[in-house]
Amino acid sequence: MTVHTPAPSVVLRPARTSDVHAIKDLVAPLAEQRILISKESVTYFESIQEFLIAEVDGKVVGCGALHVMWEDLAEIRTLATDGAWRGKGVGRALVEKLRQNAQLLGVSRVFCLTFEVDFFLGNGFTVMADQSVVDPAVYSELLRSSDEGIAEFLDLARVKPNTLGNTRMICNL
C-alpha cells in the first residue's frame, strides 16, 4: 500500500524586516548566475513594504516585490524562489498575488525585466517591442526618478553597462 502525504501548502504574506536576510539568501545564487542584481541590505529594508514572502512550513522559499512607477504602471522585481522549490508553483503564486496587489492599487499594467521569458509568457506577459507603452509626458516624468529599475525600463544609456541583457515584458491587468 502506498501512502501519499499531501504536499505542503505555500503561504504568501507581506514581508517583515526580519525577512531581509532570507531575501538576500534567495537572491545570492541568482546574482552569482547574473540572473538578478544583488542589492545592499539597506535597499531591501527601504523597500520591504513592496515585498511578498512565500513560506512552506514556516521556511521562506520565495519572494517578490511590486514597485509602483506611475499611476498605471508597476514593476514586478526581485522574484526569487529557493532552488528546491522551483517548478512547484511558488513563483506563479507570487506573480499572481503581486498582480492582484497591483490591481488593488489601481495599476493597470505590470512589467518586468527578466531572463525567464517562458515563465512570464505563461503568466500573461508579452515581450515589449519598444517603450511606446509609456506616454511621452510620463516618460519625461520617469526620467526624474533615481531608481535603477526605472532607468533600465526606460533603456537609459547610463545603465547599459550594468544591464544584465534581460528582456522587458509587460502584462495588462
DSSP string covering 12-69: EEE--GGGHHHHHHHHHHHHHTTSS----HHHHHHTGGGEEEEEETTEEEEEEEEEEE
Lowest mean pLDDT among 17-21, 59-63, 120-124, 146-150: 146-150
pLDDT in tens, 105-161: 999 999 898 889 999 999 999 998 765 556 666 666 666 666 766 666 666 555 554
The side-by-side arrangement of strands in the sheet containing 167-172 is 10-14, 51-56, 59-70, 73-81, 109-114, 167-172, 126-127
pTM assigned to the model: 0.82
The three cell numbers locating residue 6: 499531501
User: What single letter denotes the amino acid at residue 41?
Assistant: S
| Whole-number pLDDT of residue 161 | 47
